[in-house]
Amino acid sequence: MGGTWEDLNLYRSEYGFIPLESLLQKCECLAGGSTVISVFEDHQGFIWFGRIDNGGLVVIDPKTLSNNCFRTENGLPDNSITSIMQDQEKNLWVGTYRGAAKIKYMDDPLSKSSLEVELIGRADGLSNITLWNGAASNSKQEIYFGTRDGLIELNPENLTTVHMAPQIILSEFNVLNSAPLPKNTPLTIPHPSEKIILNPYQKVFHIAFSGSDFYQSGSMSYAYRFSNLDSSWIDIANQHNLTFANLSPGVYDFEVRARLTNSSWGQSHRIKIQIIPPVYRRWWFATFLILSALALVYAIQQNRILQLKKVQQIREQISHDLHDDIGSALTNIEIMSGLATRTTSPKPGIYQQILETAKNSNESLHQIVWNLNPANDQLKNILPYLSGYAARSLESVDVALEIQDAGVRDELKMDLLRRKDLYLCFKEAITNIIKHSKATDVLIVFDLNHKILKIMISDNGIGIKSNSPMKGNGFINMKKRLEKWGGEARISQGSDQGLDLTLTMPIP
């Protein structure tokens, strides 16, 4: 068996020279280079040969042609092998372009996937790490390697190797593999207080790193952990980048470290990464929701209490109206009827008074019932009722009435108490016309604009006098009733004669 510039060849008498590359199709090392410059047969008869041009170290069983190959990822300092030899301890010594390697011999090299290697470089006494053809030993078991500057002598017994653990260099930190961090982001070992802050939508990020010994990167392995979550390390072999996806919001103390095949673990590189939780998962948002819920419950409870108070107020108002209007009227009827029955010649007009009192009490009762009916909440039902009341009242005293409603047929609603106050003000105005104005014509105009109802009542009576009821308690009560709801009552002298009264009521 011999090596040539074309490859390793096997000589058999029946076939002559046979290129082994055609036979060793499963050997990955044969795909790396084409020049064999070192061949060695070990104590078990296995043939070791080294190839330059990144070919690696190959071992072959010449009997069966079984083979195995080793490269930097298996522990070698380089893939270009320039020399091979074996010492008395059966250790293999290999020379490369990046120093020497002492390989502890394994019983079955054809089945191994890794090597127990001790790397030897400048720190171990090599003045030149580019080792060239040839390796030999003398009787004292001193090892010689050839270089372009001459021979280098190594004494295995006196050789003390100090292998520096590699340091970690962080080379890349990308969010979603597309948005690099700003240039001032600390990519070397940061201070423990420094951290990278990501928003809730940046939960996928990519970290790339490498060891400080670039020449032996193929024999370097890595491990990482999140130290604040788990103290154990996760070994990732020679993988030098990691991608994390969909991490939960929180703070992560990311650590990564590296080592060579023949070294201990180096100092770890630590990065503090914080993923900010979304708004709906922050403490103040939860507090806001709780307070809002409490406020809503309180508002609902207060509204319920307000409604109960309103119902109670309506009940009291109805009781008050029934007592004042109907009760007093019935009492008057009872008194006048008693006088009429006990007197043989009743006072003239007493029966007419009884009739008027009964009529007024009936009108009051009708008004109370109408006011309580929810169907009369709509404005389109309120205005006809007011018009009907005015028509009946003025017709009884022979006063002509003209009504203009400008087509007001709106679906707006007016609550019971607001409607009651508007009716009482309107009733007061009609009563004053009948009793005091001496008018013969009345004009009533209903107008609705921007949810404000305006009722204008004009007559051709005597107008405002110094002793007019419109300047007394009647008008004052009107103003109070309307101002309570944000409305108003205004009076003015008519253009020719008589009185103009304007009632304004906002409708919510």
Say if residue 244's pLDDT is above 70.
yes
User: How far apart, in Å, are the Cα atoms of 300 and each of 291, 305, 313?
Assistant: 14, 9, 19
Query: Between 227 and 5, where is the model more confident?
Result: 227
Q: How confident is the model at residue 192 (pLDDT cuts 50, 70, 90)?
A: very low
What pLDDT, on a 0 to 100 scale, did the predictor assign at position 264?
73
Q: Give, in words, the CATH class of 2-154.
A: mainly beta
**Residue 444 reports pLDDT greater than 90:** yes
Domain ranges of the chain: 2-154, 168-280, 282-372, 375-508
CA 5, CA 34: separation in Å to the nearest integer? 7
- Domain 168-280, what architecture? Sandwich (2.60)
* Residue 186: band (very low, low, confident or very high) from pLDDT cuts 50, 70, 90: very low
For residues 446 and 458, is the Cβ–Cβ distance under 8 A?
A: no
**pLDDT for the residue 493:** 81
Which amino acid appears at position 84 of this protein? I
So what's the pLDDT on residue 293? 92
Secondary structure of 398-462 in the HEC alphabet? CCEEEEECCCCCCCCECCHHHHHHHHHHHHHHHHHHHHHHCCCEEEEEEEEECCEEEEEEEECCC
pLDDT of residue 188: 42
CATH number for the domain whose boundaries are 375-508: 3.30.565.10
pTM beyond 0.95: the answer is: no
Amino acid at 171: S
* pLDDT given at position 297: 92
Percent of the chain with pLDDT over 70: 74
**Fold match between domain 2-154 and domain 168-280:** no
Radius of gyration of the chain (CA): 55
Q: Which two tokens stand for residue 112?
A: 């191994």
Q: 49 and 58 in contact (C-beta within 8 Å)?
A: yes
- The lowest-confidence range among 139-148, 442-451, 460-469 is 460-469
What does the pLDDT read at residue 45? Answer: 85
Annotate 76-94 with b (16+ C-beta within 10 A) or e (fewer). bbbbbbbbbbbeeeeebbb
Q: Nearest-CA neighbor of 449 among 479, 408, 402, 486? A: 408
Q: CA torsion, points 374, 376, 379, 384, in degrees to nearest 10?
A: 180
* Mean pLDDT of the region 241-265: 82
* pLDDT value of position 506: 92
CA gap 76, 218 in Å, rounded: 8
Q: Give one DSSP letter per residue of 334-381, joined into a string.
A: HHHHHHHHH-SSPPTTHHHHHHHHHHHHHHHHHHHHHHH-GGGGBHHH
pLDDT at 483: 92
What pLDDT does residue 185 have?
Answer: 44
Q: Which region, left, alpha or beta, applies to residue 5 given φ > 0 means left and ψ of -120 to 50 means alpha?
A: alpha
**Lowest-confidence region among 133-147, 206-220, 417-431:** 206-220
Tens of pLDDT along 68-122?
A: 888 887 778 888 888 888 888 888 889 888 888 888 888 788 887 777 888 777 7
pLDDT at 492 over 60: yes
- Predicted confidence band at 456 (pLDDT cuts at 50, 70, 90)? very high
Average pLDDT for 181-189: 43
> Which H or E run includes 312?
helix 283-321
Of the listed ranges 39-48, 168-177, 464-473, the least confidently predicted one is 464-473
The secondary structure of 281-311 as a DSSP string is GSHHHHHHHHHHHHHHHHHHHHHHHHHHHHH
Q: Contact 46/65 with Cβ under 8 angstroms?
A: no
pLDDT: which is higher, 24 or 47: 47
Whether 23 and 17 have beta carbons less than 8 Å apart is answered as no
How far is residue 376's CA from residue 415's CA, in Å, rounded to a whole number? 9
Candidate ranges 8-22, 367-381, 465-479; pick with highest mean pLDDT: 367-381
Residue 166: predicted pLDDT? 74
Band (454; pLDDT cuts 50, 70, 90): very high
